[in-house]
Amino acid sequence: MTIPPTSTSIPVQRSTEALDPNHADLDRLDPLALVQAFADDQRAAVEAVRSATPALARVVEAALPRLESGGRLVYVGAGTSGRLGVLDATELTPTFSWPPERAVPLIAGGERAIRQAVEGAEDDAAAGANDVRAANVGPGDVLIALAASGTTPYVLGAVEAARSLGALTVGIANNPGTPLLAAVDCPVALDTGPEVISGSTRLKAGTAQKIALNTLSSALMVRLGKVYGNLMVDVRTSNAKLEDRAVRLTCHGAGVSESEARAALAQAGGSVKTALVMLRLGLSVQEAEARLAAAGGHARAALGEG
């Protein structure tokens, strides 16, 4: 596969780089008006994601079979986009007990780039391809490529390598008609337009990417059985706050007292899902775990609710 030309070879119309005529006097605003300008402009991020919901739903449908078969989510980006990918990948483990080895964030410039800019890293297409190969990306994996501009060479190099290795590729960009969206299996355009501070895509472009990632990964986790009703039943109880949350979830889902919930969770090793099945069906830990395994980890199916 050949990557479509990048911004270095042909001009690409990028609305994220356009000047916003509504904020030409931004530096003259008083604090209240300044904050209102930034806050009001963020509404466009929500609307951009709402417009992209059909595309995001197609990603869920395409990605689900690979993840059900043990595949990984691999995030690729540079700068703000790369950091957002790192954040989404990191949060899947405590929220849904998603194995950390199955959420792989790749960022231009490596881990150092999470905290500081690594000059020129995003311009290296070969580095993107090499990082994908080093992560052993393969046919079972889903690569989520993020670039506000839609032209970042590091990201485009990663996409080309991932597609050649058989992975499902997803592209999220804030400019329609850009090379990234043309290069992937599942394009998602978040058309957020010009920024209040011209060209600063850490603003509403970044917000739209964050919302899209939250939406996409959360929808996948729901479909994978990590949620019962709207209860976060696969939460990892790694601290006191999350232990208390697990108790509340178990009380609500099973309709039991706090003491009953705590006792069941202790037997279930902190697993809300297992505790729910135990309490609702009067089963032992082993019986509840076996029932969940037979249901593919879906609590509703394990409870016989279809």
Query: Of residues 17, 47, 91, 287, which has the active-site annotation?
Result: 91
Q: Which amino acid is at 46?
A: V
Is 160 annotated as catalytic? no
Residue 91 annotated as catalytic: yes
What CA–CA distance (Å, rounded) separates 84 from 213? Answer: 8
**Are 148 and 205 in contact, with CB atoms under 8 Å apart?**
yes
Q: Kindly state the DSSP code that residue 3 receives in the 8-state scheme.
A: P
Rg of the chain over all Cα atoms, to the nearest angstrom: 22
Alpha helices in the chain (DSSP H): 31-41, 43-51, 53-68, 79-96, 125-134, 153-164, 179-183, 204-223, 240-254, 258-267, 272-281, 285-294, 299-302
Q: Are 247 and 258 in contact (CB under 8 A)?
A: yes
Sequence letter at residue 216: L
CA-nearest of 297, 295, 241, 303 to 278 is 303
Choosing from 122, 160, 195, 289, which is the catalytic residue? 122
List the end-to-end C-alpha distance of the chain, in Å, as a whole number: 43
The three-class DSSP label of residue 228 is strand
User: How far is CA 6 from its chain centroid?
Assistant: 25
Contact (Cβ atoms closer than 8 angstroms) between residue 161 and residue 134? no
Q: How far apart are CA 60 and CA 57, in angstroms?
A: 5
Token pair of 275 as six digits: 């505790």
Active site residues: 91, 122
